[in-house]
Amino acid sequence: MADAAEPTTPRRPPRRAARFLLTALASLICAAGLAAGLWGLWLWSFATPAPLARLETGSVEILDREGGRLGAFLSEDDKWRFPAKLDEVDPLFLEILKAYEDKRFDEHGGVDLLALGRALRQMLTSGQVVSGASTLSMQAARLLDPAPRSLANKLVEMKRARLLERQRGKSGVLEIYLGLAPYGGNLEGIKAASWAYLGKSPATLTPAEAALLAAIPKNPNAYRPDRHPAAARRARDLVIARAEAAGALTAAEAAEARAAEVPRRRRDAGLEAPHAARRALAELAPEARRRGGAFSTAIDPRLQAAAQDLARRAAFRSDPSASAAVLLIHRPSAEIRAYVGAAVPESQRRAGSVDMLRALRSPGSALKPFVYGLAFDRALLLPETILDDRETDFAGYAPRNFDRGYSGQMSAAETLRRSLNVPAVRILDRLGPAAFDGALRTAGAGLTYPLGDGPSLALALGGAGISPYDLGRLYMGFAGTGGVPARLNLLAGATTPEVKTLLTPLAAQRLRQILATAPRPRTAQAARGATTPVAFKTGTSYGYRDSWAAGASGDYVIVVWVGRPDGAPCPGCTGYSVAAPTLLDMAQALPPPDPALAVPVLADPALAAGAKLAPHLRRWSSRPTQSLLQPLKKPPEILFPRDQTTLLLPEGKAAPLRASGGEGALRWLVNGRPLASPAANGAPLWLPDGPGTHRLEAVDSRGRSARAEVVVVRPTPPRRSAASLAAAPPAPPPESPPEAP
């Protein structure tokens, strides 16, 4: 009997065969998936390009003339997001980024098919996502239009990535990524991250810094070094390993990078020069502010640092609540080279947030040079004209000098050097306060009067409000050929502003010559023997509330203000003792003047050999006179108001009309109609029927006429804001603090 057959066990195929079959099956599935993906791409061939709206808004970065940062400001959507150009980023970072995120970036056309196939195969064999296939181009497309992760959105990203590369090229795609990559919180883009975490520009990065900035966007909130330093370090080291494997880093560089510490705090964006940066931001066009980007100014970083240091010193030696402001203007270009609005911007006690260069303050005696300058222009006096400094009552207004004494007879030049009050008021009375105000207003530097009052004789001693910025513009006329720029250039590349005439070149030269010999206080630089030529004038407002010094040195105009931003007195703070030393020390920090830009020296006819001066030019006369060296029978000339003058007149107040020359009595016409207003002290009075443009005409008995077009404006009450702490000053009493030692 045959033995029963033993049951047999089926043989299992070898593991190698099973692996082969599984791999073949996976490959078929991958191929099918790849074909499906390509078919999907074709279906999405009409997908819209990525929207570029996120590229059209960004943060504003304000730079000095050498590219240093003055300040930065959030975008409209409260993000720190700065556009980045490839030449603004360290090339090492780009190498490391490609090695970590997209090693075939320079070869593919936006979609890496090899990486895509690998990712599909790994997902199908393991049942989960092992590696991604997003290229930098696809990430750029997603950053432009963030959307939930899905197969459909991934296909859209792929299509948009290809479009981006065709439209913008590889460099354009990289710049999109560099400008929009997330870095945690409200940080977007490498420039924002580099400043926040490293405190520097991304133009120069160490291998460790570059690896950290390449790692964070993978998981921005989890890898924030200020909150999760350990996780950030692990992510950074992974990037270093991949960069070393790809040859972007040597073994020694990689080891040194791993040993480097990870930054553990996030820095504020910072405003290195807050008031200059905010002023530059305000001057940008609205579209430029919305788009964002880096904007250069004319600020010189060395001069800005010197001005900030001098302002701080001036405030500290004045009062615990004092501040200081310094404005430095390059005269030939009207460019602002230093803009310091507060001595200590971060100090609350000193109101450091208030830009005192824009605040309205009483100028004290700082406007006196223009009183004399206009009198020189009108041939009312010369620097050698003898004036009387004696007690005088001007219809109830009796100004006195600070020492309550009087100096008697002396030249006009000496009264200006010593800043005597009575002679200055005497000259302003002859000019007319309204005419003086009109001249300054026509030049573009309007004054503000307390309680809406119009100009008065107190104007010579500071009875008005003006900002240091506008005073600097006025001193541009004093420093050069008499022209005042319509604006000052803070932004680089600004067009040359229109220049309005304030003084003639000869009058400006006479003022410079007088004030170049004004008494000087002792300064830190003077103690070291520095004697840079400076023509300057000081000013101190009533109650020691404002200390001023303004003047010209070489190619520059300097304005210094010191006081308390809240308008409280600063005992002992005078223009001579506090502001002038700051101005003189600032002058020592200036570069040498350019001989090609020097103001030409004019021949003064009053000093010519054999020149014969009229009696009223040898000794002051308060009576109206003819102009210097002009014939008595000349045609009529309107002296006030001048042509193209802007006249500030409160409602119901008349303006005196003054003219010279002509034959016989002059007839006045206003807008073509005879003037019906009565005369005052021999001068006709004109009561305008309202604000606006008016045409004045003076006609003599021979029918010769002079015409002037005048704009009348009504005064408005000064701005009084507790927030700005910059209320208009009160009218000064009939005396002013000393301006000479």
Annotated catalytic sites, by residue?
A: 101, 365
In DSSP terms, 699 is beta-bridged to 667, 705
Secondary structure, 3-state, 135-188: CHHHHHHHHHCCCCCCHHHHHHHHHHHHHHHHHHHHHHHHHHHHHHCECCCCEE
User: Residue 489 has what DSSP assignment?
Assistant: B
Exposed, middle or buried: residue 319 (CB in 10 Å: 0-12, 13-18, 19+)? buried
Strands 645-648, 705-713: parallel, antiparallel or unpaired by DSSP? parallel
Q: Which residue reads 């050929």 in tokens?
A: 481
Determine the longest span between alpha carbons in the chain, in angstroms. Answer: 167
Strand ranges (DSSP E) for 476-555? Answer: 483-485, 499-501, 535-540, 546-553
Please say whether the beta carbons of 344 and 376 come within 8 A: no
- Spatial CB neighbours of 486, under 8 Å, sequence gap ≥ 6: 444, 497, 498, 499, 500
Distance CA 128, CA 119 (A): 10
* Inter-CA distances, 578 with 200, 341, 342, 571, 586, Å: 37, 17, 15, 11, 13
Please say whether the beta carbons of 652 and 686 come within 8 A: no
Q: Is the dihedral of CA 283, 288, 293, 298 positive or negative?
A: negative
Distance CA 108, CA 173 (A): 13
- Indicate the helix (H) or strand (E) that contains 294: strand 293-296
The encoded tokens of residue 123 equal 């997902």
In DSSP terms, 326 is beta-bridged to 340, 560
Distance CA 230, CA 20 (A): 42
The encoded tokens of residue 186 equal 């409200």
Provide the CB-side half-sphere exposure for 686 (13 A, CA). 27
- Spatial CB neighbours of 183, under 8 Å, sequence gap ≥ 6: 189, 190, 192, 193, 196, 197, 213, 216, 217, 220, 224
Please say whether the beta carbons of 557 and 331 come within 8 A: yes
By residue count, the chain amounts to 741
- Helices (H) and strands (E) in the chain — how many of each? 21, 24
* Inter-CA distances, 312 with 43, 337, 469, 673, Å: 67, 18, 19, 59
Distance CA 561, CA 639 (A): 34
In DSSP terms, 50 is beta-bridged to none
